[in-house]
Amino acid sequence: MKERDSRLAGLSVTGDLMSLVSSYVSEQRRSVPAVMSREDGARRLTFDEWWSLLDSVRDGLGSSAIGVDLARRVSPEHVGVIGYLTLSCQTVLEAFQYFERFQTLLYEGPKARLELRDGLAGLVWDTSFGGSTRVSDQVILGGFVTFLRRMTGQSELTIERAETWWSDLPASDLFERHLGGGLVCGASANALWFDANVLTLPLVSHDDVAFRALNDKATAALANMPDLGRFADTVRQLMIERLPLGDADQSAIASRLAMSERTLLRRLRQSGISFRDLLGQVRVELAQVYLRDQHLTLSEIALLLGYSEQAPFNRAFRKATGKTPGKWRAEFMLT
């Protein structure tokens, strides 16, 4: 799996993350020119700029553990209005719901969704925009654990496990220690899993007045953002809805959006992804959902994904995951 995926490179992350990096470098009493030349919170960064910044810090400090170090330091001021908004919610569940709604303010592209499974609650990130980088994903995953502890006032709170689609992570032993739970590499997507009872925990900074003001501010900020990442999300959702009906080709999707196919393809290119790649990724994600259901045969799953027969489904799934659908299902049942 490649790092620095071009589908994600041109999308953005909040400029508030600059203060996280610059304060960390300052603590180390070292000089990293790439950090010194940027102004904290001046503007949003593209993912490509964010990745390059992390690379510069890693090389400048000579440390493979910067993803873990940065994750440990995540505070509200490093993630902007969405950080303060989630802290002002009543419970962890409410905070996660508002994070889902406003996560584009933190970063465009891959979205996290809340899932419940076997007594566990999980934040699971989609793979529609390809890969970020190992260090960037460590900051995101580890930063969520840091923030969860801050929200609840439970500094020793641990997760059940973290999953990453990378085959390995730098300083993985330190990262696992920070998480307080297991680390599973080579998973189908990045995810954090914890006891579902955590969702009911009250937040120590709950404030109704602050919540209302911050919710209004976040709503306005989201409305004023370019819709590049959100457009791809809209197309993705239509694909999910229309695939089982056999109605998810570009002509049908363009018609549902009341635009020409040419406009559809152009706007997706602006989002950093092609229609074909997005459809392929949605099919793989849905396939992994369907494969967990033992009542569905592989032929039935192929039809639900819009394939006319099983063979092309098998080829596409193996190309994307390195495993046949049957092998993926068998391995899932053993976990």
* CA distance readout (Å), 16 to 8, 12, 21, 49, 82: 19, 12, 9, 13, 11
pLDDT digit string, tens, across residues 220-243: 988 777 665 567 778 888 898 888
Alpha helices in the chain (DSSP H): 6-9, 17-27, 33-36, 47-61, 66-72, 81-87, 92-102, 134-152, 172-179, 208-223, 228-242, 250-256, 261-270, 275-291, 298-304, 310-321, 325-334
- Confidence class for position 259, pLDDT limits 50, 70, 90: confident
What gap in Å lies between CA 35 and CA 39, rounded to an integer? 8
Q: Greater confidence, 9 or 328?
A: 328
Dihedral of the CA atoms 185, 190, 194, 200 (nearest 10)? 180
DSSP code string of 46-80: EHHHHHHHHHHHHHHHT-S-HHHHHHHT--GGGTT
Question: Which residue from 182, 196, 163, 192 is spatially nearest to 92, judged by alpha carbons?
Answer: 196
Question: Phi and psi for 313 in degrees, rounded to 5?
Answer: -65, -45
pTM comes to 0.69
Residue 1 pLDDT > 60: no
- DSSP letter assigned to residue 33: H
Beta carbons of 7 and 126 less than 8 angstroms apart: no
Query: According to the model, what pLDDT value does residue 35 have?
Result: 65
pLDDT digit string, tens, across residues 6-56: 667 777 889 899 889 888 888 887 777 656 556 555 578 888 889 988 998
Dihedral sign, Cα of residue 265, residue 235, residue 329, residue 167: positive
Beta carbons of 277 and 318 less than 8 angstroms apart: no
What gap in Å lies between CA 249 and CA 287, rounded to an integer? 17
Query: According to the model, what pLDDT value does residue 7 have?
Result: 66
The two structure tokens encoding residue 218? 């976040």
pLDDT digit string, tens, across residues 133-178: 999 999 999 999 999 999 999 999 999 999 998 999 999 999 999 9
Question: Which residue from 66, 68, 67 is spatially nearest to 30, judged by alpha carbons?
Answer: 66
What amino acid is encoded at 174 in this protein?
Answer: L
Dihedral sign, Cα of residue 212, residue 216, residue 221, residue 222: positive
